Structures are given as C-alpha cells and as structure tokens.
Amino acid sequence: MSSTRRRPCNQQKSVMTENLTITELEKRWDHVLSATQRAVNKNPGVYRLLKSLAGDIVENPLDIHEYMPTVGRLSDLLETLDPGGNGSIFSIFNERIKPASIWQVALLRVECGDLLAHLKEFDKWRCSSAGLRLVK
C-alpha cells in the first residue's frame, strides 16, 4: 500500500476548478465547433467513416475479439481528423475513446453514443451557420 492516502469522493478536487460564466462556456463551445468545422473541411470522407463506425458500434453487438481492432480504427479516424489536438470534438473524444481510457468494454458503446450526440449538435450548428439544409 502506498504512503499517500486518497481523499474521500466528496473531497476530491474538481476537474474544472474554474467558475466559468455562461458567456465563457459559450465562447469555448464556439471554439470547439469552429475547430471541428476546420477538421471536417479537411477530411469530409473520414468524417463520414467516423460517424458510420460509431453508429455501427452503438447499434450492433461488438464481438470481444473485435474490440481492440475496432477501438484502434475509431481512434485512428479521430486522430486523422484532428492530429494536433486543436480542441475539436474529435480531439476530446480521442482522449476518451483510446483503449487506455476505457477500462470496461461496455463503455465504448456509451462513448460512441455521446460522440454521435455531439456530432449531431455540430451538424445542426453547421447547417444553421452556413445556411445549409440537410437533404435526405
């Protein structure tokens, strides 16, 4: 056992120690959306592949033997979209989805669902800010 003791959960330091205003949070979100837009503009095909793979993970069972190759593909797509970690949705989720970050296989489906929800909001923002319409 180590000589340092962990604090009880209610005494743990918060990840966000700053008290941000709504305006500051909105400004950060706008920065994330803009960085995501730049990444998508550079690699639209990779963006479509990422959404497709994340959707497959959410909708279909994943064999345990396919877990590591699938997470590797997902992480590679996220890295391709934002290789420098410029604060886009892709860099945020790349940290969350890396195999070292997910200790329970079941959490991959949850993370992919969250990624798709973020990308849906990004697509809405992109359509509203560029005057684009989604055609089905």
CA-CA distance, 48 to 39, in Å (whole number)? Answer: 12
Q: What is the mean pLDDT of the chain?
A: 84
Query: What is the value of pTM for the model shown?
Result: 0.78
How far, in Å, CA of 67 to CA of 79, rounded? 18
Mean pLDDT along residues 58-75: 91
132 or 64, which is more confident: 64
In tens, the pLDDT along 86-130 reads: 899 999 999 888 877 766 777 899 999 999 999 999 999 998 887
Tell me what the mean pLDDT of segment 13-36 comes to: 81
- Cα gap 66→29, rounded to integer Å: 34
Spatial CA neighbour of 43 closest among 15, 5, 81, 96:
81
Dihedral of alpha carbons 51, 41, 81, 86, sign: negative
